């Protein structure tokens, strides 16, 4: 379909209003009410350049414009409102959706541009808990959005497999470890060791020093430390892969802290050569006071590296390896200072381009009702347990609603896990939210099950009609407000994806999918689809087919599969 916003902006530019095309384009908006047209141009800004009342300007502009494909142009106070030719929009949108199907909404705008998205980044020897859901799911969708728009994307899981906590784990295992128990129940047993040791070391300097020494041994390649570390890592990755399998999330690499540590010596040498490392109480820091930031420690007083040291080496490695436009980190908002420091260290090193690539995509916290999550204190809720419980609850609800569903087990898994993802993604990523089973499994609210049910309803209508294939059609009879409102929602699908990419905000896509589902249900409830008039029936079935395609595409971007029956 033609980009009418672009066409309108070009026509307005020809009127020599004192604004450039880009300024005009950015001012054009969608009216808040559908009976006010498809686009609106506010004339308030023109009052300065044209020295007239904005209402008078709107009247003059509206009366002097003619645009092919625009049925009516009128002024509403200080706005110029544009009403598109409904039949033309209907023809263009439905035919394009049905023709392109899985490719509807895709773009090649990102062709030849490389992006890296780092997300999930769970820690070895610690639980994959409910708190990890946000980075994992948000990152997956941001990767999907970029790929949908034609970008080359590398999905990286920066596994936390290095650092002081491994000194804790090794020291704890040497004191109390039971290999047989760990092999049987790896994450729970390793968690118990970690929690026990951290409690002991709170008031015991000897325990703290022992953990630091064990990590130093690991950095130095000491044989036993390396053996235990590799064992912990293998056990953990096996457990994590099971959860990623349930979530249907895949990565291009699992290059974590240990992988990138091989480039730390070169990064530290460069920092030294450029006189950026400053000695402070036996440690080495980078002074960031000129940026009003606290100093950043890169080498600890015992000679071991800090987390940010590995991030510096990682950013430089990724720049060399991938030729990135953006190096995107999906990490909680608590790490804002860390990424500010990382960018400035890279800048001081003379790597302004690498610094510009670093993009921290923040998100808020997730919590469970009446529960505080803390790995250190052992207060964790395993994500796998949450997913399994959701699947069980979904199975029970779906069985009570309709026991005719084929393969109810598989359907409950898709709808249940989809419900968890949708609730996560429907919320603005920066906001904290409370995980609530009752809310996310509501089939009537703004939830994943509601969207799934809408898709299944559309597919049911098509099955009942015995009509799934449609060629190019001339739509003459779709003229209700409900039909046109749904068609416009389908038309704006790609705009929503591009906006989601620009804002790095998955909720834009989730809310567009919800809007389409709600408008389809309004159309479905107000309109009889399987009517005697064959032409009208076929047109409404084609609209139903187009809706099912776009909902499926939207859910796919959100990492959610669909079910044919509910």
Catalytic residue status for 132: yes
How far apart are the C-alpha atoms of 70 and 84, rounded to whole Å?
4
- Strand order from edge to edge, sheet including 39-42: 39-42, 79-84, 70-76
Provide the pLDDT confidence category of residue 17 given band limits of 50, 70 and 90: confident
Question: What is the model's pLDDT at position 205?
Answer: 85
- Residue 31 and residue 537: Cα distance in Å, rounded? 31
Give this prediction's pTM. 0.91
Helix axes of 186-201 and 205-219: crossing angle, nearest 10 degrees:
130
Q: What pLDDT, on a 0 to 100 scale, did the predictor assign at position 403?
A: 65
- Return the half-sphere exposure (C-beta side, CA atoms, 13 A cut-off) of residue 468: 7
Domain extent listing, the chain: 2-83, 113-259+323-366, 415-556
- When pLDDT is averaged across residues 539-551 and rounded to a whole number, the result is 98
**Across the chain, what does the average pLDDT equal?**
92
Contacts of 462-466 with CB under 8 Å at 24 or more apart are: 462/541, 462/544, 462/545, 462/548, 464/530, 465/529, 465/530, 465/537, 465/541
User: Rounded to whole angstroms, how far apart are CA atoms 145 and 139?
Assistant: 10
Burial of residue 31, with CB atoms counted within 10 A of its CB: 0-12 exposed, 13-18 middle, 19 or more buried? middle
Check if 48 is active-site: no
Task: Tally the C-alpha atoms within 13 A of residue 213's C-alpha that lie toward its C-beta.
Answer: 8
What pLDDT is attached to residue 369? 67
Q: What is the CA radius of gyration of the chain?
A: 28
Provide the pLDDT for residue 402: 66
- Confidence at 43, pLDDT banded by 50, 70, 90: very high
CATH topology of domain 113-259+323-366: Rossmann fold (3.40.50)
Residue 299 has pLDDT above 70, yes or no: yes
Using the predicted structure, report yes or no on whether residue 375 has a pLDDT greater than 60.
no
Task: Tell me which of 129, 343, 360, 452 is the catalytic residue.
Answer: 129
What is the reported pLDDT for 440? 81
pLDDT in tens, 169-220: 999 999 999 999 998 888 889 888 988 998 888 888 888 889 889 988 988 8
**Entry field: residues in the chain:** 566
pLDDT in tens, 97-146: 999 999 999 999 999 999 999 999 998 888 888 889 999 999 999 999 99
| Tokens 């295992």 sit on residue | 173
Q: Is the confidence at residue 309, as pLDDT, over 90?
A: yes
Q: Reply yes or no on whether 522 is catalytic.
A: no
d(C-alpha 397, C-alpha 413), whole Å: 12
What pLDDT sits at residue 379?
A: 57
Express each pLDDT in 321-332 by its tens digit.
999 999 999 999
Which pLDDT tens digit goes with each residue over 237-262? 988 999 999 999 999 999 988 899 89
Which residue is catalytic, options 132, 319, 452, 519?
A: 132
User: Distance of CA 195 to CAs 108, 331, 523, Å?
Assistant: 49, 24, 55
CB 258 within 8 A of CB 230: no
378: pLDDT strictly greater than 50: no
**Distance between CA 566 and CA 450 in Å, rounded?**
10
Question: What CATH number is given for 2-83 in this structure?
Answer: 3.30.1360.70
Would you say residue 47 has pLDDT above 60? yes
pLDDT at position 370, please? 59
* Pick from 346, 335, 124, 161: nearest CA to 235: 124
Class of domain 415-556: mainly alpha
Segment 515-530 shows an average pLDDT of 96
Q: Exactly one of 22, 48, 111, 126 is catalytic; which is it?
A: 126
Helices and strands (H and E) in the chain: how many: 24, 12
pLDDT of residue 371: 58
The 3-state DSSP composition of the chain as helix, strand, coil percent (nearest 5) reads 60, 10, 30
3-state secondary structure of 177: coil
How much of the chain exceeds pLDDT 70, in percent? 98
**Residue-wise pLDDT tens digits, 400-442:** 876 678 889 999 999 999 999 999 999 999 998 888 877 888 8
Spatial distance between the Cα atoms of 55 and 78, rounded to a whole number of angstroms? 4
Taking only the tens place, the pLDDT of each residue in 134-165 is 999 999 999 999 999 999 999 999 998 887 88
| Percent residues over pLDDT 90 in the chain | 72
pLDDT at residue 376 greater than cutoff 60: no
Sign of CA dihedral 388, 389, 391, 392: positive
pLDDT at 149: 98
Q: Are strands 358-361 and 326-330 parallel, antiparallel or unpaired?
A: parallel
Residue 440 CA to residue 424 CA, distance in Å, equals 9
- Report the relative pairing of strands 296-299 and 433-435 from DSSP bridges: unpaired
Least Cα distance to 501 among 147, 100, 133, 210 occurs for 147
Q: Which residues contact 304 (CB under 8 A, 6 or more apart)?
A: 164, 212, 215, 216, 219
* CA–CA distance, 247 with 245 (Å, rounded to integer): 5
Which ranges of 323-428 would DSSP assign to H, the alpha helix? 336-348, 352-357, 383-401, 408-426
Token representation of residue 393:
């609850």
Task: Name the DSSP class of 484.
Answer: H
Lowest mean pLDDT among 312-316, 384-388, 397-401, 562-566: 397-401
Q: Is the pLDDT of residue 373 over 80?
A: no
């Amino acid at each position: 379909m033609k980009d009418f916003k672009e066409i309108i902006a070009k026509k307005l530019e020809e009127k020599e209003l004192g604004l450039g095309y880009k300024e005009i384009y950015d001012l054009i908006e969608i009216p808040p009410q559908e009976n006010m047209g498809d686009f609106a141009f506010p004339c308030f800004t023109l009052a300065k350049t044209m020295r007239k009342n904005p209402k008078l300007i709107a009247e003059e502009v509206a009366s002097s414009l003619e645009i092919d494909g625009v049925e009516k142009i009128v002024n509403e106070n200080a706005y110029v409102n544009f009403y598109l030719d409904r039949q033309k929009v209907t023809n263009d949108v439905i035919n394009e959706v049905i023709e392109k199907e899985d490719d509807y909404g895709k773009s090649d705008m990102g062709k030849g541009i490389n992006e890296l998205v780092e997300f999930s980044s769970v820690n070895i020897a610690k639980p994959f808990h409910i708190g990890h859901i946000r980075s994992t799911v948000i990152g997956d969708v941001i990767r999907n959005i970029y790929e949908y728009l034609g970008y080359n994307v590398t999905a990286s899981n920066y596994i936390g497999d290095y650092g002081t906590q491994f000194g804790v784990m090794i020291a704890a295992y040497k004191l109390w470890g039971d290999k047989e128990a760990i092999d049987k129940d790896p994450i729970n047993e390793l968690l118990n060791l970690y929690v026990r040791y951290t409690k002991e070391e709170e008031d015991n300097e000897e325990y703290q020093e022992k953990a630091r020494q064990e990590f130093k041994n690991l950095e130095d390649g000491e044989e036993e430390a390396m053996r235990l570390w590799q064992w912990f890592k293998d056990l953990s990755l096996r457990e994590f892969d099971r959860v990623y399998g349930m979530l249907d999330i895949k990565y291009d690499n699992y290059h974590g802290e240990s992988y990138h540590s091989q480039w730390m010596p070169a990064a530290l040498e460069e920092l030294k050569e450029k006189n950026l490392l400053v000695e402070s109480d036996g440690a080495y820091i980078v002074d960031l006071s000129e940026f009003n930031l606290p100093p950043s420690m890169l080498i600890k007083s015992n000679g071991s590296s800090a987390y940010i040291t590995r991030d510096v080496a990682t950013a430089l490695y990724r720049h060399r390896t991938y030729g990135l436009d953006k190096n995107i980190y999906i990490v909680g908002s608590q790490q804002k200072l860390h990424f500010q420091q990382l960018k400035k260290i890279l800048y001081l090193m003379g790597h302004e381009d690498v610094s510009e690539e670093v993009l921290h995509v923040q998100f808020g916290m997730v919590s469970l009702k009446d529960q505080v999550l803390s790995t250190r204190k052992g207060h964790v809720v395993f994500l796998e347990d949450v997913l399994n419980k959701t699947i069980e609850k979904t199975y029970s609800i779906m069985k009570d609603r309709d026991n005719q569903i084929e393969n109810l087990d598989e359907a409950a898994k898709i709808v249940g896990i989809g419900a968890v993802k949708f609730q996560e993604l429907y919320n603005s990523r920066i906001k904290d939210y409370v995980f609530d089973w009752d809310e996310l499994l509501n089939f009537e609210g703004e939830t994943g099950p509601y969207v799934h049910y809408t898709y299944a309803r559309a597919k049911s209508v098509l099955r009942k009609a015995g009509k799934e294939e449609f060629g190019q059609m001339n739509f003459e009879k779709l003229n209700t407000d409900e039909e046109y409102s749904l068609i416009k929602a389908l038309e704006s699908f790609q705009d929503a994806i591009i906006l989601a990419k620009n804002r790095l905000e998955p909720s834009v896509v989730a809310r567009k999918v919800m809007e389409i589902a709600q408008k389809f249900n309004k159309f479905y409830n107000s309109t009889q689809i399987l009517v005697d008039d064959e032409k009208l029936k076929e047109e409404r079935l084609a609209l139903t087919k187009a809706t099912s395609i776009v909902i499926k595409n939207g859910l796919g971007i959100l990492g959610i599969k669909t079910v044919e029956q509910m």
